[in-house]
Amino acid sequence: MKSFCDNCSLSSDIEKHRIMLNNLIDKKNCNLLDEEIVSLSQTLDNLVYKCVLCDKSLIDLPKLNLKNIFGTHSTLYYYGKQHLFVNLYFYINEGIKNNEIVYISMQESLYEKLIAFLECYGILVENIKFRQVMELILSNKEGGLIKLKEKISNVLSEDDMKKYSGIRWIGQPSYAIKTTSEKDFLDWEINLSEAMKNTKASLICVYDAYDCMHKGKFINENVIDKSLNTHSHIFSNMALEGI
């Protein structure tokens, strides 16, 4: 994903597969468990990651399944709402089955559509709450890694947490940057992997690859490049792979 990749065919391939995925979901009556939908979504995953990673490659590390992800700071690059929702369907469902509370920090209109989408396909949304990551970002801004660790510990100690096994936090970087700043967000990202270690919490950043490829309003080339160096895993093919 570089400014000098104008002649690369990946962009058109990604857009073609986004349209194919949307049409297939409609054809299959939004059955996200359909093998064709899952397979096509994974193909789109791989095309997006090939573009985002560009001349880099995934480290050949053991994959983590979605059941046991406490202590991880991972990333998902999505291209279009349907691609995001298919991936989050499986990601959130595993958290709920593990009795985790799922916090979601994203544009509120997108959050509402996601919740409606999950409800339609049998996901119990009682475990899902809207909660901004801004509080974590501001803790890091105030006192760096020490304050960030303290904030995460405090969140895990809240009374409401007693009935859950832990936290599965989903954050949309474009929303976080909009509500704080690019610098504050990127500074937080640098410390987040270390802050998450040995906790009963995980956090995945869902990056809007469409914004980066076409607009760059919030997810620009600098943000994408920095994201590749601040996460331990990337969500691909229904598993977390080492970066």
What per-residue confidence (pLDDT) applies to 4? 40
CATH for the stretch 59-242: 3.40.50.300
Q: Which residues contact 56 (CB under 8 A, 6 or more apart)?
A: 228
Q: State how far the Cα of 51 lies from the Cα of 213, in Å rounded to an integer.
A: 9
Domain parsing of the chain, residue ranges:
59-242
pTM to 2 decimals?
0.88
Q: Which of 240, 190, 225, 236 is nearest to 56 (CA)?
A: 225
> Can you read off the two tokens belonging to residue 196?
């998450």
Which residues of the chain register pLDDT less than 70?
A: 1-8, 54-62, 215-216, 243
What per-residue confidence (pLDDT) applies to 3? 45
Q: Which of 241, 173, 182 is nearest to 205 (CA)?
A: 173
Whether the Cβ atoms of residue 90 and residue 67 lie closer than 8 Å to each other: no
Which residue do the tokens 């080492």 mark?
242
What per-residue confidence (pLDDT) applies to 62? 61
What per-residue confidence (pLDDT) applies to 5? 55
What per-residue confidence (pLDDT) applies to 71? 95
Q: Which of 159, 228, 158, 239 is nearest to 193 (CA)?
A: 228
Instruction: Give the pairing of strands 233-236 and 239-242.
Output: antiparallel
What per-residue confidence (pLDDT) applies to 7? 55
| pLDDT (tens digit per residue) in 225-243 | 787 788 888 888 888 887 6
Torsion, Cα 202 76 90 39, to 10 degrees, reads -150
| pLDDT (tens digit per residue) in 193-214 | 999 999 999 999 999 887 777 7
What per-residue confidence (pLDDT) applies to 55? 55
Q: State how far the Cα of 175 lies from the Cα of 207, in Å rounded to an integer.
A: 10
